[in-house]
Amino acid sequence: MNRVKRRIIEIDEEKCTGCGQCIPECPEGAIQVIDGKARIISDLFYDGLGACVGSCPYGALKITERLSEPYDERKVMENIISKGDNTIRAHLKHLHGHGEKEYLKQALEYNCVL
Ligand code: SF4
């Protein structure tokens, strides 16, 4: 897959306590706490909108620009579908709130084919 330079989250491991407060702020499922630290499990799931940044009480999250795999709405939906309706709703609300009409359309189309 072609990598592109785009906005993506950066996690400062020194500052991260693994408290998990950022996890609910990322309904796309891009972040998980693994071995006591927040980790991006796949760039494909990170939309670059920065919704999680303000949720970290320790200032461990910031937006940066780097080469990354492009965000993939279909992969996000595949990833979150098993997490239930509330997670899907939070994700759709997040897309709507940021005016991401194309991703919202893709998400709704994905949901319709299930
Ligand atoms: S909220 Fe901050 S400190 Fe807590 S897990 Fe997330 S990045 Fe780490």
- Residue 59: which CATH number? 3.30.70.20
Question: Per the structure, how many domains does the chain have?
Answer: 2
Tell me which of 51, 68, 85 is where a domain ends.
Answer: 68
What are the strands, taking DSSP E only, across the chain?
4-11, 31-34, 37-40, 61-68
| Ligand 1 pocket check for 40: Cβ under 6 Å | no
> Which residue from 16, 33, 39, 53 has its CB within 8 A of the most atoms of ligand 1, so it is best to mutate?
16
Phi, psi (degrees; rounded to nearest 5) at 72: -130, 105
61 with 21, same domain? yes
Condensed to tens digits (0 to 9), the pLDDT of residues 66-94 reads 999 999 999 999 989 888 888 899 899 98
| Ligand 1 pocket check for 9: Cβ under 6 Å | no
Condensed to tens digits (0 to 9), the pLDDT of residues 21-48 reads 999 999 888 999 999 999 998 898 998 8
35 with 81, same domain? no
46 with 86, same domain? no
45 with 99, same domain? no
79 with 51, same domain? no
* pTM beyond 0.75, yes or no: yes
Nearest to 57 by CA among 28, 22, 27: 22
| Ligand 1 pocket check for 32: Cβ under 6 Å | no
- Sequence-ordered list of residues with C-beta below 8 angstroms from that of 101, at least 6 positions apart, any chain: none
56 with 103, same domain? no
Beta bridge partners of 93: none
Closest residue CA from atom 4 of ligand 1? 19
> Which ligand 1 atom minimizes the distance to the CA of 15?
3
- Residues 48 and 104: their CA atoms lie apart, in Å, by 15
Nearest to 60 by CA among 35, 42, 37: 37
18 with 50, same domain? yes
- For the chain, the residue count is 114
Residue 89 belongs to what domain range?
A: 73-112
